Structure 1
Amino acid sequence: MSNATAEQYFADEKIPFSRLEAKPFFENLTLKEKKYAHFMSRAAFEGTRIIIEQTNPRAMPIYDLIITLFSDEQGKMIDTNILHKASGVSKEDFDHFLQYNAQFLSNLSNYKSFGDEKFIPRISSETFKKIVQSSGSEKAIELFNQSCEEIYSIGPSARTLLGFPEDGHVTGYYSENITKEDIKLVEEFLQKEKISPLNTRLFKDTNTNDFTLAVATAKSDLPSNAYKLRNGQSIKVSYGDHQLCMEKVAAAIKSAIPFAANENQKKMLEEYYNTFTDGSGRAYSDSQRYWLQDLNPRVETNIGFVETYRDPQGVRAEWEGFVAMVNQEQTKKFNRLVSNAPLFVSRLPWGKEFERDTLNPPDFTSLEVLSFATGGIPAGINLPNLSEVTQIYGSKNVSLGNIISAQSPDEKFPFIREEDLELYKKYRNLSFEVQVGTHELGHGTGKLLSEDENGNLNFDSERVINPLTGERVQTWYKPGQTFNSEFKSIASSYEECRAECIALSLSPHNDILKIFDYEGQEAEDILYIMYLNMARAGLTALEFYNPEAKKWGQAHMQARYAILNVMMKAGDDFIRIKPCTVDGKKSVEIHLDRKKIREIGAPAVTDFLRKLQIFKATGDSKNGIQFYLDSTSVHEEWYALRDIVIDSKQPRKAFVQCNTFIKDNDVLLTEYEASAIGMIQSYIERRV
């Protein structure tokens, strides 16, 4: 393979590391709250290996290699200067070596958490091997030999994208012989038997073609049940997937129970323990119900198989868990947003027939993250992702303050005009805070028209008119069907797009901007930068589109590209992308007419939002999927722009997280430097 092709997959050269600052908020907790936070952090991080296995099953030896290579005999971080000196390699090569290892830990895989594309070291395998051998660790050398091919393979037969095995891609959710038809067949069975797929993986025996549905549980001796599928094939539901991790998760949850702040927290933890022990979907749903009833906790946490972004089918969920402390001052703003939620939701472009019968005001808090076990930390969260729970009990909206505010001094902002740059830097984070708030509020809106097992509808089929057709509603969710099961692989991106559109549709209203303490010219500047930032995000999203596979690698970026398309098609030169030259290279800059946001831009986004919502509400997956695929298709005339985007791309931030330890009946917090070495040390001391 040519060097030019290999360079496409090189790990970022100088990734911006940012320390996740949480100590001031942690120190304000009581000892009981600190112990609760400690054990829930442990529970979250005990699932680290689950994330790696779900993403790329071949990557586990790489993780073990990193932990082994950088640990001494006592399990402490080694002096990397000694390793560098012993290896005899150049400083540049050793820095590239550290960067690769740290980026693996940041993504918890050798595939990017934001983009789903493989990355490889910027040094040769010979240089990598030389460093490993200089450690003198036989185990590290053995692990390198096991993982070398996986670390470096990018040839024609290599799988460099996450996705369906049938399409030549990588996934840990399915065995390589599983086809899309197999997945659909099993999905029918799961809906019929009311088995949640969230905590499962699917495998097929190469000899018998029979299936195994592996459920993640701490117990492995639970009775396995065998069933016949529609086509006569057999499927066995077995337990004990990710068993060692799940045992540790359940043990940490159990240790947290004595430190629960109230009865709702205690019941939530008990249901978490049950679902992680025996895989019960009912127990997981109950844990989320109790979580929703635990309002305004000092320590907020959520854990489990949560987001379905990485499953190519969009129904199986990745392990994650977070622990955070409430930022009381910032939360006051979000509480004002929540108290006015009925008014703001009434402005959304669909009638009351398509809105939830009872709007449960969401619990909306601003959090400072203590720990987040995931391959990529978001800026905001709306949970739970269980429509049977949220349609009745509502949801919690969370803004992660120390994620939004984290900055790197070397950060650059391609495609922003020179005359906009100062304003952009000043208001980018502040406008994003407004966007995250209204975005997460948006996730909690919208009714799903559905039919229960007794044939009862939650809407009047004789009276409700589909505004897109002018006729009575013809489609809705049948028993066992969910938005994810019907909209499949695009469901996550589709919903993120809907929420982003809600943010852009609602934010031009002055009363919303006032909630965040912005009025007059400053409010207008905030609104302008919000729209400009969305346009820039839609442009930079092209990095995450693979023209050869015609596949998007990141749900949020696919959504933002769709919105950029909508705004560009709004007309009247609302947005133009003009060619320019930066540092002697071809580039482009975004020209957005701020005077036309309310009269041109926002109405175009609102009309697009209306269609997204109606297709979702009516369960019209056939037309909804096609509409979204058309909206996110990348035509060849965009390819030249994509080349410019890739040539100007900025590395994504990596967050170095702290660890907590119990010593002498106290909980101590240890922070690490914002560097590749700090990232590696944090995982060495985490011992997962």
Structure 2
Amino acid sequence: MRQVSPESPGIFDFIMDLYHACDGKWDTLVTDYSITPEELEGFLEYAAMFLCNLGNFYGEGDQKFVPNLTADALQRIAGISPTAQERLDEIIGPLLAVPPFNLGYPSKSAQSAYYLGSMAQEEIALVSEAMSKHSVGPENTRVQKLIKEGKPVYHVLQASAETGAPANGLYELANNMFLIRGDHSVELSMVCSNLARALKYASNHRQTRFLEAYIESFRTGSQEAYQESQKAWVMDVSARVENMIGFIESYRDPAGIRSEWEAMIGIADPDETARLKRFVERSTCFIRQLPWAVDGVNDGKGPFEKTLFEAPDFTSVHALAVCGSVVFEAANLPNYEYIRETCGFKNIVLANRLCVNHNPRLSMPWITPSELMHFQKSTHLVRFLTTAIHELIGHGTGILLSETAPGIYNFDEQSPPLSPLSGSPVASHYALGQTWTSVFGHLAGTVEECRAILVSEYLMDNKELLSIFGYTDASEVTVDDLLYTTYLNIGVDGLQALEHYSFESKSWGQVHHQAHFSIMKHLLQDGGGVIHISQDLDSSSLTVHVDRSKIASHGKPSLGRYLCRLHIWRCTADFAACRDFYEPLCAVEGLYEQWRQIVCSKPRPRWKFVQPNTFVDGDTVEVKVYEESNRGIIQSWAERDI
């Protein structure tokens, strides 16, 4: 929460103070404290939404949300407890303030808790340069700007249980930049203590190793130790209990380098995992069918793929607990490219999160009534399949042509491979020390997600792939049904993404939504009419139409052209070409701005997830499940006793 906004920890404590003050009996606020039922429900709605996003900005879209309550109503609610009243006095200003509208580089309309103090992008870049010179990883840091004696001083706040100078004595990064350990020290001390307790339950030496490395990293702040944890973690295959923990994804940092604390514990689903493993076994066959594959070169995969596709561990789990701003559907980790290439990676699907997509009661205003039943029957199946392809082949493919050591390359630099985009030898590669994220910067996350999404949509006509999951021409939902729904989803996802675009700051709040919009826009411009969006201004309606007859002839080739461009530019470090093509596809102007206004006028209900808690009673672990309501969500967090 501290990574979201300065006021978020205080808002959390305010909610907990109120819960304990009334002992969870919220109706007493109406009977004993002159709070109206509408005011109470408005507060409970805000509190539950806050707890599900772990902050006062939506996990999806990064827009700020405020309670539908007056300041007076909040004061009367806080009046039930002197502690809550004192807490509210500290946070009520930023709690209700708009702007900021969203997360982003600090400005009049946006804010970021990764950058404390009035800080320009140029200053952030200078701090990053100083950190790079000393090999200080940015993932678990924030930056604070102070003014001392009229001059700016920058503190790089590194997350660690320990405080003080590190063992190597590094403190001063530059003449006005200092490394300060101990950010989130109290919480990370508790994390380390509990991970130490978990060690005695490790099932094998790999689990012992990654737990020990987790502890070292969270205790000292060492990103090298965290990378060691990931090397051991990816080797712990077919784990019955799967985990992800650490400063993992950098989506919420406007600079795209600092990462959000996340954690997940899940229990493997053996039946689903067995199907996914069959998919893994056939993965090379499907890679040979991607647009850049070349017969007779690199086992048919072409020069822009690794010689050996390291088949990852692919597990379907039922999430027991998720800590983060969203309950995600799947993950492909680790994010360190060199670990993926040398040790491998893992794909994890959260089955009990994906199944939530199958909810026929949800309205879908972008689909014609005549197709709504078909869409509701098949869209959740498409989302499971595309998620599986996205994680395994989308994120698992591609080689970054690089100088790996002085004068050593992972490709023939004297005779570079031919680009399928130009037919000429590629003219760029990653220089020594460069990485995907350092070269592509703020576009790295969204371009990679877009590439992975395109891979999944491009392969959704593959009958051999779909048959692994039981879908054929004769199944109840046929392969053609799934393909048609895939293209409906492209339109629906592209439209719904507009809800996450900030008109005020001209920025996208979430990399996946930005990618979905760009794909829809590309197909509208390049797909020869395979999809069409009809607009009725009188009724403020938008409807997605797909021409089945053009899916094979126009739709797939268009997706392939877009996919091939992103893939080759990523492989060859051609940021300029990628930026010049991608950014216009993400621009929301003219007709698309009209569509954004219509989409925002019909907001979708946002997911709220109530999570269980576990309690240890002797040698028994008890799982407590809560009521599916705002009150149940608040109770579940209160009984976590954080």
Instruction: Give the TM bin, normalised by the shorter chain.
Output: over 0.9
**Stretch deviating more after TM superposition (177-186 or 420-429):** 177-186
Aligned runs of 1:626-637 on 2, under 5 Å? 626-637=580-591
1:575-621 Cα deviation digits (max 9, x unpaired):
1111359xx83212111112322221111111101111111111122
The letter for the 2-side match of 1:466 is S
Q: Of 643, 664, 671, which aligns to 2:618?
A: 664
Indicate if the aligned counterparts of 2:359 and 2:376 stay in contact, CA closer than 8 A.
no
1:339-377 Cα deviation digits (max 9, x unpaired):
001111122222422112321001111111000101111
**Stretch deviating more after TM superposition (352-361 or 182-191):** 182-191
Tell me the residue number matched to 1:283. Answer: 225
Tell me the residue number matched to 1:198. Answer: 139
The letter for the 1-side match of 2:78 is V
The letter for the 2-side match of 1:639 is E
Q: 1:566 to 1:398 in 2, by over 3 A?
A: same
Report deviation, 1:563: 0.7
Q: Of 200, 203, 225, which aligns to 1:261?
A: 203
Separation in structure 2 between the aligned mates of residue 594 and residue 652 of structure 1, nearest angstrom: 31
Q: Of 204, 211, 214, which aligns to 1:272?
A: 214
Tell me the residue number matched to 1:41. Answer: none
1:536-570 Cα deviation digits (max 9, x unpaired):
01011111112231111111110000110122123
Calculate the TM-score normalised by the size of structure 1. Answer: 0.88
Tell me the residue number matched to 1:26. Answer: none
Tell me the residue number matched to 1:153. Answer: 97
The letter for the 2-side match of 1:498 is R
Is 1:548 the counterpart of 2:482? The answer is: no
Separation in structure 2 between the aligned mates of residue 418 and residue 235 of structure 1, nearest angstrom: 60
Separation in structure 1 between the aligned mates of residue 248 and residue 527 of structure 2, nearest angstrom: 39
Separation in structure 2 between the aligned mates of residue 71 and residue 455 of structure 1, nearest angstrom: 64
1:84-136 Cα deviation digits (max 9, x unpaired):
32232322221111101111111111111111111111121111211221x2x
Instruction: Give 3-state SS (helix, strand or coil) of 2:116's partner.
Output: coil
Tell me the residue number matched to 2:595. Answer: 641
1:273-326 Cα deviation digits (max 9, x unpaired):
111111111211111111111010110001000000000000010000000011
Separation in structure 1 between the aligned mates of residue 361 and residue 461 of structure 2, nearest angstrom: 32
Instruction: Give 3-state SS (helix, strand or coil) of 1:579's partner.
Output: strand
Indicate if the aligned counterparts of 2:527 and 2:558 stay in contact, CA closer than 8 A.
no
Tell me the residue number matched to 1:132. Answer: 78
Indicate if the aligned counterparts of 2:255 and 2:441 stay in contact, CA closer than 8 A.
yes
Return structure 1 stretches of 4+ with deviation > 6 angstroms: none
Is 1:215 the counterpart of 2:168? The answer is: no
1:513-535 Cα deviation digits (max 9, x unpaired):
11111000611111211221122
Tell me the residue number matched to 1:63. Answer: 12
Q: What is the root-mean-square deviation of aligned Cα atoms in Å?
A: 1.7
Q: Of 112, 127, 130, which aligns to 1:189?
A: 130
**Stretch deviating more after TM superposition (471-480 or 170-179):** 471-480
Tell me the residue number matched to 2:291. Answer: 349
Is 1:487 the counterpart of 2:429? The answer is: no
Calculate the TM-score normalised by the size of structure 2. Answer: 0.94
Tell me the residue number matched to 1:418. Answer: 369
**Stretch deviating more after TM superposition (636-645 or 165-174):** 165-174
Runs of 5+ consecutive residues of structure 2 not aligned to the other structure: 294-301
Q: 1:191 to 1:687 in 2, by over 3 A?
A: same
Report deviation, 1:410: 4.2
Is 1:361 the counterpart of 2:302? The answer is: no
Separation in structure 2 between the aligned mates of residue 621 and residue 87 of structure 1, nearest angstrom: 60
Indicate if the aligned counterparts of 2:29 and 2:40 stay in contact, CA closer than 8 A.
no
Separation in structure 2 between the aligned mates of residue 177 and residue 225 of structure 1, nearest angstrom: 26
Aligned runs of 1:474-553 on 2, under 5 Å? 474-520=427-473, 522-553=478-509
Report deviation, 1:167: 6.3
Separation in structure 2 between the aligned mates of residue 227 and residue 478 of structure 1, nearest angstrom: 28
Is 1:93 the counterpart of 2:15? The answer is: no
Separation in structure 2 between the aligned mates of residue 468 and residue 209 of structure 1, nearest angstrom: 47
Q: 1:466 to 1:184 in 2, by over 3 A?
A: farther
**Stretch deviating more after TM superposition (566-575 or 281-290):** 566-575
Separation in structure 2 between the aligned mates of residue 338 and residue 599 of structure 1, nearest angstrom: 29
Is 1:445 the counterpart of 2:393? The answer is: no
Separation in structure 1 between the aligned mates of residue 104 and residue 536 of structure 2, nearest angstrom: 36
Instruction: Give 3-state SS (helix, strand or coil) of 1:177's partner.
Output: coil
Tell me the residue number matched to 1:457. Answer: 409
Separation in structure 2 between the aligned mates of residue 547 and residue 559 of structure 1, nearest angstrom: 17
Q: Of 374, 377, 380, which aligns to 1:429?
A: 380
The letter for the 1-side match of 2:631 is I
The letter for the 2-side match of 1:66 is I
Instruction: Give 3-state SS (helix, strand or coil) of 1:79's partner.
Output: coil
Instruction: Give 3-state SS (helix, strand or coil) of 2:152's partner.
Output: coil
Separation in structure 1 between the aligned mates of residue 504 and residue 164 of structure 2, nearest angstrom: 45
1:176-233 Cα deviation digits (max 9, x unpaired):
222211222222233333221111111222123232222111111343524454xxx4
1:5-55 Cα deviation digits (max 9, x unpaired):
xxxxxxxxxxxxxxxxxxxxxxxxxxxxxxxxxxxxxxxxxxxxxxx1111
Q: Of 348, 352, 356, which aligns to 1:402?
A: 352
Is 1:225 the counterpart of 2:170? The answer is: yes
Tell me the residue number matched to 1:589. Answer: 543
Instruction: Give 3-state SS (helix, strand or coil) of 1:71's partner.
Output: helix
Separation in structure 1 between the aligned mates of residue 30 and residue 430 of structure 2, nearest angstrom: 60
Separation in structure 1 between the aligned mates of residue 108 and residue 576 of structure 2, nearest angstrom: 22
Separation in structure 2 between the aligned mates of residue 477 and residue 71 of structure 1, nearest angstrom: 55
The letter for the 1-side match of 2:95 is I
Indicate if the aligned counterparts of 2:163 and 2:182 stay in contact, CA closer than 8 A.
yes
Is 1:384 the counterpart of 2:326? The answer is: no
Report deviation, 1:408: 5.1
Indicate if the aligned counterparts of 1:177 and 1:206 stay in contact, CA closer than 8 A.
no
The letter for the 2-side match of 1:679 is I
Indicate if the aligned counterparts of 2:7 and 2:95 stay in contact, CA closer than 8 A.
no
Tell me the residue number matched to 1:574. Answer: 530
Separation in structure 2 between the aligned mates of residue 272 and residue 142 of structure 1, nearest angstrom: 37
Separation in structure 1 between the aligned mates of residue 52 and residue 361 of structure 2, nearest angstrom: 19
Separation in structure 2 between the aligned mates of residue 634 and residue 538 of structure 1, nearest angstrom: 12
The letter for the 2-side match of 1:326 is A
The letter for the 1-side match of 2:542 is V
Instruction: Give 3-state SS (helix, strand or coil) of 2:328's partner.
Output: coil
Is 1:650 the counterpart of 2:604? The answer is: yes
Report deviation, 1:72: 4.4
The letter for the 2-side match of 1:401 is A
Instruction: Give 3-state SS (helix, strand or coil) of 2:567's partner.
Output: helix
Separation in structure 2 between the aligned mates of residue 682 and residue 228 of structure 1, nearest angstrom: 43
Instruction: Give 3-state SS (helix, strand or coil) of 1:452's partner.
Output: strand
Separation in structure 2 between the aligned mates of residue 674 and residue 201 of structure 1, nearest angstrom: 36
Indicate if the aligned counterparts of 1:191 and 1:480 stay in contact, CA closer than 8 A.
no
Tell me the residue number matched to 2:85. Answer: 141
Aligned runs of 1:11-50 on 2, under 5 Å? none
Tell me the residue number matched to 1:296. Answer: 238
Q: Of 116, 120, 142, which aligns to 1:175?
A: 116
Instruction: Give 3-state SS (helix, strand or coil) of 1:247's partner.
Output: helix
Indicate if the aligned counterparts of 1:192 and 1:480 stay in contact, CA closer than 8 A.
no
Runs of 5+ consecutive residues of structure 1 not aligned to the other structure: 1-51
**Stretch deviating more after TM superposition (188-197 or 627-636):** 188-197
Instruction: Give 3-state SS (helix, strand or coil) of 1:444's partner.
Output: coil
**Stretch deviating more after TM superposition (184-193 or 305-314):** 184-193
Is 1:339 the counterpart of 2:281? The answer is: yes
Separation in structure 2 between the aligned mates of residue 149 and residue 410 of structure 1, nearest angstrom: 38
Tell me the residue number matched to 1:29. Answer: none
